Every structure is written in C-alpha cells, then in structure tokens.
C-alpha cells in the first residue's frame, strides 16, 4: 500500500480545488510532481520521508484532479507565478507559513517561482531535472529540438489535445505499472483519459513559452536570485547534463547558495530510484 497512513484530501484555494495527500510527522515539506504525473509519483519517497517530515503531496493545478486554470491568450492562469501563489495559499491553509520545498520536472518550475516570489515561505529548495524556462529557450539547439520537441508541440493551440486524446495510452506509452505501482498507474490513466486534464497539462507548456520566460527575464534583469539554500539534482540517465553541461553552473546565475549532483536514474527518479532521492532530500534538509 503506497502512502501508508496518509490522508487523501481536497482543499479549496482562491483559484480552485486542490487534491492532495498529507502524512508524516515533523517539519513540513511540499513535493511537486512533473508531467504527466500526479501526486502519486511521490508515493515511495513520501513513505520514506514520513517518519521525519510532515509530507504534503498535491496535484498541481492543471494536473490530476486539481482545478484546471481558465484559459487566456497569454496563459497567465497556468503560469508558474499563478501556480506558485496557489501552492503557497494551500500551505497556509494547512497551517504552514514556512516549509521545505521539492520539485521535479514541471513541478520544479513552480517550485522555483515560489522560491523567487515567496522568500519568507521557502526555507530550503530542492529542484530535480530542471532549469529556468528562459535558460532552456535561450540555449535551445538542434539537440533540444530533437529530444525536447514536445515543448513546442504542446505550446501549439488545440492540436496537442486532439492528438493526445485520440489515443492517450498510445501517446504516453512509457507509463508502466511495474515502475509506477498499480495505484499510481491507475491514477495517471484516469488523468490522461480526461480531455480537460490533458488541456490543463498542455496549458502548463503554453505558459512556459508565452509568459513564464518573461518572469524569468524580469528577475534576471533586476538581479533577483533564490535566497534560500538550494540543491540541484538531476537524473544521470536522462539528458539534462548531456545537453547543457553541469546544471549547477547554470543555477549559480539564479541562486545565491546552490550545490548539486546527479542521481543514477532515468527521468522519473521518484519512481526509479526513490531511495537515493530520499537520501539526498533528507541529507540536504537536515544539513
């Protein structure tokens, strides 16, 4: 049984309803998942963290069973700025005005924006398999276009939803119950079979191309950086380091106190190597 002893809940924030699981004992740590996952991707890590931390695992807005932000021409309601505000509000409603923060993939982008915009709330920040959107776009080359083409396909209007919803299991053909666990697999299948949820996930990418990079640029031009201690992790069997070189060197342009290293895993490290990921999280948060 995953999430042993955790409570499945829904909490309303100003923008809509958030689905989440909470459990454990100790200082609060918020875990934010990536695409196309839901909070269920954290089940193994959450169980390992629960003896030492109060663990909060939500579905991000636009993902899983959380609210789907309304549409706008610039995708502002799906921006990482808007999602950061919703996550900070969620934590406040849970009674946590300060907390540790961990993000993976798209969840890392929201976590980064939380650390930039809500400095008083985030005590320490851990980002996995992530760079700021602006860094991705400015460094994009033929390898990025070849391997990360989905960034630009998902950013197109309407067609991604039509293609994915025509055969969701064919599009997301790497999903595996043996890797994810039966409960997480069933949860993600339910998500990708709902057209409104697919739309919410696509809007997350459209926001990256339309508005998130503008927020990054404004921070860079103003000289703002993440002020809390930050750990940058990446999956060594994925391609972040291969495309960009040492991610820590890039993050030093965006954070005042950053360290990091690779973990032996494919992209979905919370499922593929939860033990080493948990050790990294605990070591950094307790350090």
Residues carrying an active site annotation: 105, 267
Structure confidence at residue 108 (pLDDT): 98
Each residue's pLDDT tens digit, 212-262: 999 999 999 999 999 999 999 999 999 999 999 999 999 999 999 999 999
* Mean of pLDDT values over 17-36: 98
Is the pLDDT reported for residue 281 higher than 90? yes
CATH architecture of the domain 7-285 equals: 3-Layer(aba) Sandwich (3.40)
Structure confidence at residue 275 (pLDDT): 98
**Domain spans of the chain, in order of start:** 7-285
Structure confidence at residue 2 (pLDDT): 81
CA distance 123 to 285: 9
Structure confidence at residue 191 (pLDDT): 97
Structure confidence at residue 1 (pLDDT): 54
Report the half-sphere exposure of 133 (CA within 13 A, side-chain side).
Answer: 28
CA distance 40 to 33: 8
Sign for the CA dihedral angle at 167, 184, 53, 240 comes to: negative
Each residue's pLDDT tens digit, 33-92: 999 999 999 999 999 999 999 999 999 999 999 999 999 999 999 999 999 999 999 999
Each residue's pLDDT tens digit, 101-137: 999 999 999 999 999 999 999 999 999 999 999 999 9
Each residue's pLDDT tens digit, 166-225: 999 999 999 999 999 999 999 999 999 999 999 999 999 999 999 999 999 999 999 999
Task: Determine how many CB atoms are found less than 10 A away from the CB of residue 241.
Answer: 15
């Amino acid at each position: 049984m995953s999430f042993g002893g955790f409570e499945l809940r829904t909490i309303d924030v100003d923008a809509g309803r958030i689905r989440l699981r909470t459990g454990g004992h100790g200082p609060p740590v918020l875990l934010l998942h990536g695409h196309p996952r839901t909070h269920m991707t954290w089940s193994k890590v959450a169980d390992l963290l629960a003896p030492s931390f109060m663990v909060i695992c939500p579905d991000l807005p636009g993902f899983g069973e959380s609210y789907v932000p309304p549409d706008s021409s610039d995708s502002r309601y799906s921006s990482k700025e808007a999602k950061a505000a919703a996550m900070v509000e969620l934590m406040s409603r849970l009674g946590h005005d300060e907390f540790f923060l961990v993000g993976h993939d798209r969840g890392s982008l929201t976590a980064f924006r939380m650390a930039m915009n809500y400095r008083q709330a985030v005590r320490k920040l851990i980002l996995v398999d992530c760079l700021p959107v602006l860094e991705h776009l400015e460094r994009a080359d033929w390898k990025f276009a070849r391997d990360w083409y989905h960034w630009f396909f998902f950013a197109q209007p309407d067609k991604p939803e039509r293609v994915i919803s025509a055969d969701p299991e064919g599009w997301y053909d790497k999903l595996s119950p043996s890797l994810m666990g039966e409960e997480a697999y069933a949860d993600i299948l339910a998500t990708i079979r709902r057209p409104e949820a697919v739309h919410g996930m696509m809007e997350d990418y459209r926001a990256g191309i339309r508005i998130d990079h503008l927020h990054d640029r404004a921070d860079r031009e103003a000289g703002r950086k993440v002020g809390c201690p930050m750990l940058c992790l990446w999956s060594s069997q994925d391609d972040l380091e291969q495309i960009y070189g040492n991610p820590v060197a890039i993050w030093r342009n965006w954070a005042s106190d950053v360290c990091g290293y690779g973990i032996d895993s494919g992209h979905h490290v919370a499922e593929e190597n939860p033990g080493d990921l948990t050790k990294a999280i605990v070591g950094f948060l307790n350090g």
